[in-house]
Amino acid sequence: MSTYADRLQALREELARRRLDGFVVPLTDEHMSEYVGAYAQRLAWLTGFQGSAGAAAVLPAEAAIFTDGRYTLQVREQVSADQWSYQSVPETSIAEWLGEHAPKGGRIGYDPWLHTKRWVEQATQALQDQGAELVAVDTNPIDAIWPDQPLPSTARLVVQPDALAGRSSAEKRQEIADWLGSRKADAAVLSALDSIAWTFNVRGADVDHTPVALAYALVNADGTADLFVAPEKIGEDVAQHLGNAVRLHPRDAFASYLANLRGKKVVADPERAVSAIFATLSNAGATVLELRDPAVLPKAIKNAAEIAGQDAAQARDGAAVSRFLHWLSVEAPKGGVDELSAQAKLREFREATGALKDLSFDTISGAGPNGAIVHYRASEETNRPLEMNSIYLVDSGGQYQDGTTDITRTVVIGEPTDEMRTRFTLVLKGHIALARAVFPQGTRGSQLDTLARQYLWAAGLDYAHGTGHGVGSFLAVHEGPQRIAPGGSGFAGGDEPLKAGMILSNEPGYYKTGAYGIRIENLVLVEPREVDGAEKKLLGFRTLTFVPLDRRLIDIDLLSPEERAWVDDYHAQVAAIVGPPLEGDAAEWLRSQTAPL
């Protein structure tokens, strides 16, 4: 099947053999992961779409691909309009589209291991209104027609030492057991891969950019656990680390194990556990408690060891990024640097630390107008040179065993226009306002989001993404449940109260379509704040990321004295933290970049 048209036709033929009138293809895996292994890239194989979020629906005579505003341009470049109609989320949804387009009396298939229970309920209702039905398939029809589908990774698990984790796996399991006991429940299903990695103090290499292993787990009310993972992935060191209280089973035995839990009260997370888990438990006669995965909140609240690890990772990463920005300042004005060569050079600097395990996501390396595409990914087809008197935006991060990093810097090659400087400075003012915020315990991220947007709003400007996401400890670079985003905007997590120990990004931006993009991103740690005379407990942010800002883009006249002091203090910390490892011209460059405004 050499063309995407051939693949679409083969899928339709396979659906006809199964007496199905349609099928839904999401971009996820059995764990509702953001990033998935090669074996689960069914959407890309079928359509050619290479983005990190999307879905498709196939009917006998029409097919649609669903993406959000980040991928409006990309989907049109990668997916043929001859076979697919482009649908924009959240303006429409798969369920709504199926409700309008499915044939009356039709049978629309879905893989229950790739969808949430809530999605199944919504799609079922939408199809009922059309006189059609949603049908769970036993095996995924794309797997039947994908001749060279990769196998799931066989990489072995590795131990995350207690010294870096800060707590033993036994302590974490006991905390979950106590939580289960208070709810008179027998067990909790863990299906989110980062929850499993955190709970058992293990890491893996089964998913690009996220150090997790394909597995399922049940944590029981007595503190024991059942871990379902391919046997060849467990070495003697990991088996010894897990100990006798963790019973090992093959990963493919998970469903049959659930089917034997008659009479048990089992917790499953409706956001993170797929529909098949709920259906299997219900059919087995178990009582299902729909509650949030009990690892999610303690995983988000970093302990002292994780915070120390993050500080070390940030210092190491900040030095690498600073070396890159020095290199860029020398080489880009000469010409010959493009998006792909720049991002490759940045990776080289990170690899030179000797500690890099992986990138934490695909680097966003956007020159000129490509920087205005929020989740841009450079390719041979889109690669642009870094031209004089233009803006370059680079959003990147690293995975280190002691921490996960994520940083965006916007730099000018040559000289900026007055508009560039003004808009960069408005973004910077919002970044500073959020970084300096002091707020009562119980404050939600949605309540803080306005701080970062206020100066852009006053100028009639805005940005169409959240301001901050949670970040894991050598885990997912996008980690819930916390987020800084507008309330009621469709950004999940904005209503989660922020707690001391949570790590988030602070990344306001501005994007001028067809011209340039601006984003300033540091990671911040929520920590207690002491204020004289305060009548309630307060929190604030400690900045974790230390890399200089491009002072050529700062309009000092637009900054208040307090904001100028913040920039000077920040740059003094950059010099103190990442200055010592730098030498020669790079050290001299850093001194000039971090001098007081």
pLDDT tens by residue, 536-588: 999 999 999 999 999 999 999 999 999 999 999 999 999 999 999 999 999 99
Instruction: State the sign of the Cα–Cα–Cα–Cα dihedral 561, 563, 567, 573.
Output: positive
Task: Provide the 10 A C-beta neighbour count for residue 330.
Answer: 12
Answer whether residue 71 shows pLDDT above 90: no
Distance between CA atoms of 181 and 294, rounded to whole angstroms?
12
- Lookup: tokens for 486: 């507008």
Q: Is residue 580 part of a domain?
A: yes
β pairing state of 216-220 and 246-249: unpaired
Answer whether residue 185 shows pLDDT above 90: yes
> Do 356 and 249 reside in the same domain of the chain?
no
> Do 216 and 284 reside in the same domain of the chain?
yes
The alpha carbon of residue 338 and the mean position of all alpha carbons in its chain are separated, in whole angstroms, by 26
> Do 420 and 569 reside in the same domain of the chain?
yes
Answer whether residue 489 shows pLDDT above 60: no
Q: Is residue 111 part of a domain?
A: yes
The residue from 278, 296, 314 where one domain ends is 296
Answer whether residue 91 shows pLDDT above 90: no
> Do 414 and 554 reside in the same domain of the chain?
yes
The residue from 145, 169, 198 where one domain ends is 145
pLDDT, position 493: 59
pLDDT, position 488: 62
Average pLDDT (222-247) is 98
pLDDT tens string 454-487: 999 999 999 989 999 999 999 999 999 999 999 7
User: Do residues 49 and 70 make contact, with C-beta atoms less than 8 angstroms apart?
Assistant: no
How many domains are there within the chain?
3
pLDDT, position 113: 98
Answer whether residue 1 shows pLDDT above 70: no
Average pLDDT (351-371) is 97
Answer whether residue 374 shows pLDDT above 90: no
> Do 106 and 53 reside in the same domain of the chain?
yes
> Do 441 and 414 reside in the same domain of the chain?
yes
Task: Give the confidence band of 593 by pLDDT, cuts at 50, 70, 90.
Answer: very high
> Do 288 and 316 reside in the same domain of the chain?
no
Q: Is residue 153 part of a domain?
A: no
The CATH number that applies at residue 487 is: 3.90.230.10
User: Do residues 334 and 387 make contact, with C-beta atoms less than 8 angstroms apart?
Assistant: no
Average pLDDT of the chain?
Answer: 96
The CATH number that applies at residue 15 is: 3.40.350.10
Query: Which residue segment(s) compose the domain that 190 sits in?
Result: 158-296
Distance between CA atoms of 352 and 348, rounded to whole angstroms?
6
pLDDT tens string 389-439: 999 999 999 999 999 999 999 999 999 999 999 999 999 999 999 999 999
| DSSP character at residue 582 | -
The answer to which of 4-13, 215-224, 311-320, 370-379 has the lowest mean pLDDT is 370-379
pLDDT, position 441: 97
pLDDT, position 492: 59
> Do 292 and 305 reside in the same domain of the chain?
no
Q: What is the Rg, in whole angstroms, of the alpha carbon atoms belonging to the chain? A: 25
Q: Is residue 152 part of a domain?
A: no
Distance between CA atoms of 7 and 24, rounded to whole angstroms?
15
User: Do residues 245 and 170 make contact, with C-beta atoms less than 8 angstroms apart?
Assistant: yes
pLDDT, position 546: 98
Task: Give the confidence band of 73 by pLDDT, cuts at 50, 70, 90.
Answer: confident
Contact residues for 177 (Cβ-Cβ < 8 A; gap 6+):
219, 220, 221, 222, 223
Environment class of 226 (CB within 10 Å of its CB; exposed 0-12, middle 13-18, buried 19+): middle
The residue from 296, 312, 334 where one domain ends is 296
Environment class of 491 (CB within 10 Å of its CB; exposed 0-12, middle 13-18, buried 19+): buried
Task: Give the confidence band of 129 by pLDDT, cuts at 50, 70, 90.
Answer: confident
Distances (CA, A) of 535 to 336, 375, 424, 434, 447: 59, 42, 37, 22, 20
pLDDT, position 68: 81
> Do 368 and 329 reside in the same domain of the chain?
yes
The alpha carbon of residue 342 and the mean position of all alpha carbons in its chain are separated, in whole angstroms, by 23
Q: Is residue 150 part of a domain?
A: no
pLDDT tens string 131-171: 999 999 999 999 999 999 999 999 999 999 999 999 999 99
Task: Give the confidence band of 208 by pLDDT, cuts at 50, 70, 90.
Answer: confident
Contact residues for 136 (Cβ-Cβ < 8 A; gap 6+):
109, 110, 111, 112, 275, 276, 279
Answer whether residue 491 shows pLDDT above 90: no
Q: Is residue 350 part of a domain?
A: yes
Answer whether residue 247 shows pLDDT above 80: yes
> Do 277 and 329 reside in the same domain of the chain?
no
Q: Is residue 457 part of a domain?
A: yes
Which neighbouring-strand residues pair with 136?
110
> Do 138 and 119 reside in the same domain of the chain?
yes
Q: Is residue 566 part of a domain?
A: yes
First-to-last alpha carbon distance for the chain, in angstroms, is 60
> Do 395 and 513 reside in the same domain of the chain?
yes
